[in-house]
């Protein structure tokens, strides 16, 4: 585990490959919750939390339940039952999407229940956004990137998930700041509301293109 690789992952997830502005994931909550800065901040924190935890959980599921390795739980169970099996018999990596969704959705439901019961103030701040990001493509995207595409280890996955959340929050805060000021401006009727927000997102995305090609 090299610290330099972790820092590189972090900077990449926040700026160079920003999940909203470069990868175009998670646009639904991005457009929906960015009207006011307070709600945007609550949403951002919820996304950071869910992305970090789901990175950890999905990595565990991927490594020990889906990958055809010596530590695959199913392989170990069948071996213990006496069957003649090799790890290659249990290449379940094609179940990645559905297994990840099950894990993430369950986890978010559980967390929402716990927060609602134990801390009503925290629930008011970020709990109400948790159902919105249960099956958000950004959360699934970070899980899939960690495991299938980039083959990171546990610590790297968690750091990448955390940084992806931070990048999402930064983009969200920038958008909400701009949209609050747009309220006072004179915008043509056909463009008011969501259309002009997409224009703004386009311009922000082009601005973030300036980060591409960085070699750290």
Partner 1 sequence: MEYVFWGSIIELAFFGLIFGIGLALAAKKFAVEVDPRVEKVLEILPNANCGACGYPGCSGFAKAVVAGEVPVTGCPVGGQSVAEKIAAILGVEVGEVEPMVAVAACSGGVRAKDKYEYDGIEDCRAAMVMGGGPKLCSYGCIGLGTCVEACPFDALSMGPLGVPVTDFDKCTGCGICVDVCPTGVMKLVPKSQPVFVACNSKDPGVFVRKACETGCISCFLCQKNCPKQAIKVVNNLAEIDYDKCDACGICIMVCPTKVILNKFPDVMKANKGLPAAVPTNPDETKALLDEIKKKQAEAKKAPKKPSEKKGDN
56-60-64 Cα angle (round to 5): 170
Smaller CB distance to partner 1: residue 92 or 155? 92
For 23-60, b/e burial (b = at least 16 CB within 10 A) is bebbeebbbebbbeeebbbbbbbbbbbbbbbbbbbbbe
Q: Which of 80, 185, 188, 189 binds partner 1 (CB under 8 A)?
A: 185
| Least distance between partner 1 and beta carbon 185 (Å) | 7
Tokens at residue 106, please? 């369950």
> With binding defined as CB under 8 A, does residue 189 bind partner 1?
no
Smaller CB distance to partner 1: residue 96 or 156? 96
* CB distance 61 to 103 below 8 Å: yes
* CB distance 43 to 172 below 8 Å: yes
What lies within 8 Å, CB to CB, of 157 at 6+ separation is 55, 56, 58, 59, 146, 147
Binding pattern to partner 1, positions 105-144, x when CB under 8 A?
Answer: -x--xx--xx-xxx--------------------------
10-12-17 Cα angle (round to 5): 130
* Count of other CB atoms within 10 angstroms of residue 109: 13
| Least distance between partner 1 and beta carbon 200 (Å) | 18
Tokens at residue 146, please? 């960690």
> With binding defined as CB under 8 A, does residue 91 bind partner 1?
yes
Residues 31-90 that bind partner 1 (CB under 8 A): 65, 74, 78, 83, 85, 89-90
> With binding defined as CB under 8 A, does residue 186 bind partner 1?
yes
Q: Which of 13, 51, 67, 99 binds partner 1 (CB under 8 A)?
A: 99
Tokens at residue 1, please? 């585990």
Binding footprint of partner 1, residue count (CB under 8 A): 25
* Count of other CB atoms within 10 angstroms of residue 71: 11
> With binding defined as CB under 8 A, does residue 95 bind partner 1?
yes
Smaller CB distance to partner 1: residue 61 or 166? 61
| Least distance between partner 1 and beta carbon 114 (Å) | 6
Binding footprint of partner 1 on the chain (CB under 8 A): 65, 74, 78, 83, 85, 89-92, 95, 98-99, 102-103, 106, 109-110, 113-114, 116-118, 184-186
């Amino acid at each position: 585990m090299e610290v330099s690789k972790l820092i590189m992952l972090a900077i990449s997830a926040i700026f160079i490959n920003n999940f909203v502005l470069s990868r175009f994931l998670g646009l639904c909550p991005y457009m929906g919750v960015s009207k006011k800065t307070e709600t945007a901040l609550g949403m951002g924190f919820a996304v950071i939390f869910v992305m970090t935890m789901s990175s950890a959980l999905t990595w565990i599921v991927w490594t020990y339940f889906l990958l055809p390795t010596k530590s695959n739980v199913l392989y170990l169970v069948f071996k213990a039952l006496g069957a003649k099996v090799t790890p290659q018999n249990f290449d379940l990596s094609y179940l990645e999407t559905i297994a990840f969704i099950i894990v993430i959705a369950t986890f978010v439901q559980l967390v929402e229940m716990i927060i609602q019961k134990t801390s009503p103030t925290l629930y008011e701040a970020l709990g109400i956004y948790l159902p919105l990001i249960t099956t958000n493509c950004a959360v699934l995207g970070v899980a899939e990137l960690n495991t299938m595409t980039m083959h990171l280890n546990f610590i790297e996955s968690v750091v990448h998930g955390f940084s992806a959340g931070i990048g999402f929050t930064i983009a969200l805060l920038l958008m909400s700041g701009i949209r609050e000021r747009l309220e006072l401006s004179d915008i043509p009727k056909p463009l008011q509301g969501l259309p002009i927000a997409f224009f703004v997102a386009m311009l922000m995305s082009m601005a973030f293109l300036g980060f591409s090609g960085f070699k750290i």
